[in-house]
Amino acid sequence: MSYMIKDIRKRLNRYQPTLLGDSALLNDNAQRKQAAVLLPIVNSANPSLVLTERSSQLGSHAGEVAWPGGKQDETDSDLKMTALRESEEEIGLAPQQVEVIAELRPYISKFGLLVTPYVGLVAPDVTFVANEDEIASIFHVPLDYLLDDPRDVTNIIERHGERHIVPEYHYEGYRIWGLTSMILLEFMSHGMGMDIKHPVD
């Protein structure tokens, strides 16, 4: 296990996800449909995050970069199971190949879903296989790359009474933005100890 992974594990062990907004919003959230995503980290000497580019044929978020994940199914025992099930369906990552090490704070998507992210470690010899009906490609972003804070743009949005920093990254032709980058920022802040509070010039 690399020093970086040890540090991430230690930081996330201390991390406590924050709740969303005031009590009225929390009551509203209880009625929302839920989803979960997985942030898979390849646990190698040079760790990387695994992301997907969604198929251009999908009805929503077509062609966008996203974490593996999706809506909660009534057969899922909990949201962690949702993230693991969807990851297996989308990128061929079996639940037993993932060590889930943290749950991050939830976010409300632009379509009103309450999305809970999970961080998981994956062995370096795991082979990812894209479900061609949903996923156009699978790619890796090295954590070392993120340490340099390579934002191209930083937007500030207000959503449900919260102010969000929404960075935008361009990596090897992929555009990482929106909810995907908001979740990435939460991981970078609390898992990697990065202080990213201001827009880039």
* Residues 179 and 61: beta-carbon distance below 8 Å: no
Residue 63, pLDDT above cutoff 80: no
User: Both tokens of residue 131?
Assistant: 């479900």
- Summarised one tens digit per residue, pLDDT across range 118-155 is 999 999 999 999 999 999 999 999 999 999 888 887 77
User: Both tokens of residue 23?
Assistant: 């009590």
Residue 160, pLDDT above cutoff 80: no
- Summarised one tens digit per residue, pLDDT across range 13-24 is 999 887 655 444
Pick the CATH number of 3-144 from 3.20.20.70, 3.40.640.10, 3.90.79.10, 3.40.190.80: 3.90.79.10
Q: Which of 20-34, 37-51, 168-182 comes out lowest in average pLDDT?
A: 20-34
Residue 23's pLDDT is what? 41
DSSP3 helix / strand / coil % (the chain, rounded to 5): 25, 35, 40
The residue written with tokens 């009225």 in the block is 24
Residue 198's pLDDT is what? 60
Residue 62's pLDDT is what? 63
Give 156's pLDDT tier (boundaries 50, 70, 90): confident
Residue 172's SS3 state is coil
Residue 147's SS3 state is helix
